[in-house]
Chains A and B, each alone.
Chain A
Amino acid sequence: MAWVTWRQHRAQLVGAVGLLVALALAALITRLPIQSAFNRDSLSACLPPAARTGCDLIVPHFENEFAGWVAAVRGLAVLPALAGLFVGAPLLARELEHETHRFAWTQGVTRRRWLLSKTSLLAAGTLLLGALASGVVMWWRGPFDTLEGRIGPSGFDIEGLVVPAYALFALALGVLCGLIFRRSVAAMTATLVAFGATRFLVLEFLRPHFLTPLHRIVAATATGSQGAGNWVLSDTLVDGGGRQITAASENLAVLHAQQARIDPHSYIVTLGWKRVISYQPAGRFWTFQLLEAGLFVALAAAVVLVAVWLVRRTPT
């Protein structure tokens, strides 16, 4: 089946490698100005925990300078989905659409073995390319990661182990959707929706709780999020008793202070209010990567098993 898989997916392989090469070239080219800016501004002295005076001006300036590129690179989070859309979904959808399954599935290889072999080989390729892409992005984001940390979504989703894991999951989803919807366009759409929904749900509801978040209590007037490189989950005002202050109450207090011609910040302090910051520390990056990657790989395996079970029952 190795030759068969290669022959049927060689165009996709070429496309994926081309994409990777383009990515690497773009990374190479754009990294140069970033590196020179980093050195010019001596930003290495601003790396946490060192806090040189002036850093709180230089660092945001540096980040603004390349904000566009950083945002664009964040968009690369869509790359893993491509494995599902253009490799996974067409695998079965195209066979069923063109009815070539009546040729492919009446040879000496059973349907299940055919599907399992093809998917395994494609998964290996996807893992490899995903890992390479992840490596390229991690290298590019080096300066930014050191300054602002990588455990936040802007870094986490496009670096490390999760990228190949997402791609694997997308591939598996594509295969299953291809089997269920039997038409390329419908399968691709369904794959995209399912992939996006899963990623969203994990990011919003699971990842914040992989490990119990840490809390830090700071004065209400303190600026900044107190600890660069961490992933801040919430930053709220609480009163002396630990109850959260609503925005309405906060506004009321500020208004009150202004009417009394007192500085609002000092007033809030006298009220005994504090800021509670809930966060995941930067040091947990690799643990979280392992957990999330493991989750998506397990999901991918489950989806593939469903597809392999279902393929024998597919009416044709």
Chain B
Amino acid sequence: MSGAPLVADGLGKRYGRDWGLRDCTLTIPDGAIVGLTGANAAGKSTLLALATGLLAPSEGSVSVLGRDPLRDPSVLADVGFVAQGAPLYRSFSVAETIEFVRRTNSGWDDEIVPDLLTRISSRAKVGSLSEGERARLALGLVLGKRPRLVLLDEPFASLDPLAGRELLQLLMDHVAETAATVVIASHVIADIERVCDHIVLLTGGGVRLESNVEVLLDSHRLLTGPRRPLGSIRGVREIVRERHSGRQLTLLVVTDGPIVDPSWTVEPVGLEDLLLAYMAPERLPTPRTSEKVPLRWHG
């Protein structure tokens, strides 16, 4: 495990009396594209800041590419991090910003520069760029040093859909070329659903879910049926959430086998709704059983 891209062990960070992150233990697999999600203030930014040595842990440990980012900060040469809001020096020109990154990273490869400069003048001041252009520049700068691990904190915030799509294209192209591991922290699940094969869900500073996406979707089902007292249901290992309305009962369950009980209508759950159910217990997706083709719900 020592070489895994990101490993946290009992990691915690306290701000005054509040814990921004507590008892966080997870291992990011090599080559995965991970969606790190959860509500605002769930601890996503804190986790990434701890991983890049911008914060020191209050308890536990974190390692990136097998090394402690605080004690061994030279590992950051292999880690690409774009903080929330894509901070850059606003008074620098684009060319000067590229020069800055070129001079502070020995692994910098100029090959990415033409991609960075599509539709941006190299003489333009960074402060004069649009949000989308700045985000793409920040990402390109990070990819240009060919990191093995890419950490992005809310990269799509305040981007229009086209800019967001371009960002993803740039990122996925790099991953296709280098097989880098990527962690994207975003509280908007739809943004990351397209590319992630791994999900980490944080709630209230702790890890609520950590799983491969396919496994997650395969192991959850939505059951609807008439309201009744519940015993154990064959094929159901755990009930994640239940909701009743009138005479109908709806359950989101973890399965450990096929559910053949005819009194239940069984449907797959979409990723966004599944995660929402884990995040906000009072809200459960509303099933529509009129069509066999599973639809997306917005509960």
Interface residues, chain A, CB within 8 Å of chain B? 1, 3-4, 7-8, 98-112, 114, 312-313, 315-316
A-side contacts of B92, CB under 8 Å: 7
Residues of A within 8 A of B83 (CB): 99, 102-103, 106
Option from A4, A7, A8, A100 in Cβ contact (under 8 Å) with B88:
A100
The residue in chain A whose Cβ has the minimal distance to the Cβ of B81 is: A106
Contacts of B100 in A (CB 8 A): 4, 7
> Which chain A residue has the least Cβ–Cβ distance from B100?
A4
Q: Is the CB of A316 within 8 A of B54?
A: yes
Within the complex, which residue of A98, A106, A108, A114 is in contact with B54, where a contact is CB–CB below 8 Å?
A106
Q: A100-B88, A102-B83, A316-B54 are in contact. Are A108 and B96 (CB under 8 A)?
A: no
Q: Does B74 contact A (CB under 8 A)?
A: yes
Is B224 at the interface (CB under 8 A from chain A)? no
> What residues of A have a CB within 8 angstroms of the CB of B56 in the complex?
313, 315
Q: Does B236 contact A (CB under 8 A)?
A: no
- Residue positions of B touching A, CB distance < 8 A: 49, 52-56, 70, 73-74, 76-77, 79, 81, 83, 85, 87-89, 92, 96, 99-101, 103-107, 138, 145
Complex contact B103–A110 (CB within 8 A): no
B76 / chain A contacts, CB cutoff of 8 Å: 106-108, 110
Contact between B49 and A316, CB atoms less than 8 A apart = yes
Does A107 contact B105, Cβ atoms closer than 8 Å? Answer: yes
> Are B87 and A315 closer than 8 Å at their CB atoms?
no
Nearest CB of B to A252, in Å = 65
**Smallest CB–CB gap between A243 and chain B, Å?**
61
New A-B contacts (20) at CB < 8 Å, excluding given A7-B96, A103-B89: A1-B104, A4-B100, A4-B104, A7-B99, A7-B100, A100-B87, A102-B81, A106-B52, A106-B76, A106-B83, A108-B104, A108-B105, A108-B106, A110-B73, A110-B74, A312-B70, A315-B56, A316-B49, A316-B54, A316-B55
Contact residues in B for A102 (Cβ distance below 8 Å): 54, 81, 83, 87
Contact assessment for B103 and A1 in the assembled complex, using a CB-CB cutoff below 8 Å: yes
The 10 closest A-B pairs by CB, nearest first: A108-B77, A102-B83, A108-B105, A107-B104, A110-B73, A106-B81, A103-B87, A109-B104, A316-B54, A100-B87
Chain B: minimal CB distance from A123 (Å)? 20
